[in-house]
A and B are shown apart, each in its own frame.
Chain A
């Protein structure tokens, strides 16, 4: 069987089961018998890495319309029923009978068919797609489209993919995870390095897998004595590792974005740290000793030209809270107490300079700590981090030793006004909602939310939406303004891009207020008052803080 087909079988095996164990085993079996080059490509696409998409979805739709003779609007309507463009076009366009499978490996298909599309003229691209549609059957077409688009969406998280591949390769997941960090290309050589027993040519720039905290559900008393725990502020910045190895400095975000070039004001001073040092911490912007809201950091990240003025007005600070490599030695198995002790000596206690220790929050008991946490909003932090002094530095999000104890979100009661079908698992269900508040007699949209309801509520709301649609604009349904939802959000800021004049951060549904009629939902003036209060409580926040453009880093806000 060709490697392309073999990968298609893996895709179907992953797609057709809901069992995590079966998915892991399918990945393991693939890792065992795939060629090195195919393994590298499979890891690349299944751990969510992306290439630049060579042909846009819109262009593919146009060509599909001409290929099938179906009007563009009907392809669009089909896409909204399916929720997946690769699948829609495979069903509509594929004319092959499965008797002409591409006799290529996955790597050959990627390198000979997909990658050249990037440099090809539209006419050539179109010929390639036509050839696929004429010769491949629906399953192969679907896979080919997926590989062009990059995102496989097959119900496998990057973590699960790593676990599965690691099982097949015979390594602990953390070993594979480490080998996957940093920059690499999906080549046979990289596949061989993944397999190789001795990871000799380790990339010096590579960060460790991050240790992520879980939300604290209970009160902290249930976690034991106060003095077993380090408490720190939960800064609203970008989680990052600062790496000093071989005379070079590297800065990586948790999303594996390389930030080295964006923060010369951190990288240059870090060059003075001893070689073989890796710090874990949070990048923030400080002005006059005050940590600035995330929006300010976001604005700076969006700048392509880091002028002297930008560096002066928005100086970055790395608030270090952990030391995970010291003297070139992996310190993750040592206790937090030992790691912090050396970290404190290394950075000193001073609150100035670009590299600072993230200070412990001093509170003798849980009650005192809870009191300090209550002031989080006015201090411009998201709450408190709790870390067990005896804990090692783990990878992923294991529960028990690191907790984030966040403050309660802001809330508002808003009316559901628009709905749109979701994608992937939620395709054909109306799950993307837009909410509005009253401005006099008018409802003004203020937030979109996709999460927070359970499956039963989603199904109930979906039925209601279908039966109470007033108007349709393409995929968007305007519904009768009846249902009120309590929305939680983390911050509120002014926005000239939104009709309401405000934008909220991380909105999500807290509950369905079936008890509340629409006319009792919140008002826009009330939200503007909230905005003023938030600004007054945190005077350092500039009134016009707003990112210049939607940023890649929109999602980096909560990566503790």
Chain B
């Protein structure tokens, strides 16, 4: 039997149902796992996404036609049953379950197994073939747990504020930023100062009922060195002198799973790095693959060679799902 999902020039494709999943070229029907720019590309005629993430997707793809599916709701496309299930990556991020002729495939999109106050936890979906992400697919990627990392973030922020400096947390604008604001909410009294790119997304999260720390735009503060003793949230691209001059003694920290390794922390020349990730770590990947009961695993995103070989040695049928996305860059915006 032909594979239910195959890799094509436009991305992952279901021939039986004539739809794509996270295509990187315009297609008639795009089932979209989440709103990060390496998964949600403009130009398709119709997007099908989790209802919980529709507002985020529309913000990222203005004017796009988006149909929302409730969690677990089944939509039949040319006889292929499609449903969406929480992946725990960011708000509205979904795994795509595809069933046809008694065979079940799940495309994970990006996922994590840790608790996140801004989105639903990952749901295990049993399947025959599991397409897993492999962003952090080496055993050295082991997260310390969000509580431990956040305790470090909070104590660093408090120490920096106490010395009158600004604790600048550099992070992805969609997902990680709101996760941090939600985690910080109980610990901070003063508002968190945010970059202009972050605030519209905060508004969408708040509108959906997620509690975030109160925020204020950095651009509404005095122009030169006026901000003292504050926590600041911004995308990495904002960390330029012209923008930082508003802040008194800015200390920079990057919040990303890549910060798990000293080498990447030092290469970024940051004052600090916090390994808080929206992706599964190595134990998380293995646990998930086991729990799906899949006999066949296809790995995509990142350096999947090690994961594939490891799974093959444990007796699973495993392969890399090839094809490099044109223009993809691993540091761009994947919520790592």
A contact set with B: CB distance below 8 Å: 15-18, 68, 70-71, 73-74, 77-78, 81-84, 87-88, 91-92, 155, 424-429, 463, 467
Contact = CB atoms under 8 A, between A and B. Distances in A.
B324 interface: yes
Contact of B306 (A74, A84, A424): A74
Contacts of B270: 18
Contacts of A83: 261, 263
A467 B325 CA distance: 11
Chain A contact residues, majority secondary structure: helix
A427 B310 contact: no
A104 B248 CA distance: 41
Contacts of B162: none
Contacts, number: 66
Given A71-B310, A71-B313, A428-B261, A81 B266 contact: no
B263 A428 contact: yes
A421 to B, nearest CB: 9
B329 interface: yes
Contacts of A88: 140
A184 B262 CA distance: 32
Contact of A425 (B266, B306, B313): B266
18 contacts: A15-B266, A18-B271, A71-B310, A77-B138, A81-B303, A82-B261, A82-B263, A84-B262, A84-B263, A87-B261, A87-B263, A88-B140, A91-B142, A92-B140, A426-B263, A427-B261, A427-B264, A429-B267
A15 B262 contact: yes
Given A78-B140, A82-B263, 17 more contacts: A16-B265, A16-B271, A18-B269, A68-B139, A73-B309, A74-B309, A77-B138, A81-B261, A83-B261, A84-B263, A88-B140, A91-B139, A92-B139, A425-B267, A428-B261, A428-B263, A463-B329
Interface of B: 138-140, 142, 260-267, 269-272, 303, 305-306, 309-310, 313, 324, 329
Given A16-B271, A77-B138, A424 B310 contact: no
Contacts of A426: 263, 267
Nearest to A71: B313
Given A18-B271, A425-B267, A77 B261 contact: no
Contact of B263 (A18, A73, A74, A425): A425
B289 to A, nearest CB: 16
A467 B262 contact: no
B262 A91 contact: no
B322 to A, nearest CB: 13
A424 B139 CA distance: 19
A70 B140 CA distance: 11
A83 B260 CA distance: 13
Which 8 pairs across A and B sit closest by C-beta, in order of nearness? A427-B263, A78-B140, A91-B140, A83-B263, A77-B306, A425-B266, A78-B138, A18-B269
Contacts of B269: 18
Given A74-B306, A155-B266, A428-B267, A467 B261 contact: no
B329 A428 contact: no
Contacts of B261: 81-83, 87, 427-428
A181 B262 CA distance: 32
Nearest to A94: B142
A469 to B, nearest CB: 11
Contacts of B324: 467
A336 B184 CA distance: 63
Contacts of A73: 309
A424 B138 contact: no
Contacts of A155: 266
B168 to A, nearest CB: 14
- Name the residue in B263, B272, B313 with the highest tally of chain A Cβ atoms < 10 Å from its Cβ: B263
B266 A428 contact: no
Nearest to B305: A77
B273 to A, nearest CB: 9
A154 to B, nearest CB: 9
B262 A87 contact: yes
B254 to A, nearest CB: 12
A17 B264 CA distance: 14
A70 B269 CA distance: 32
Contacts of B306: 74, 77
A17 B260 CA distance: 16
Contacts of B329: 463
Contacts of B266: 15, 155, 424-425
Nearest to B273: A16
Nearest to A68: B139
Contacts of B309: 73-74
A18 to B, nearest CB: 5
A427 B138 CA distance: 15
A92 B272 CA distance: 22
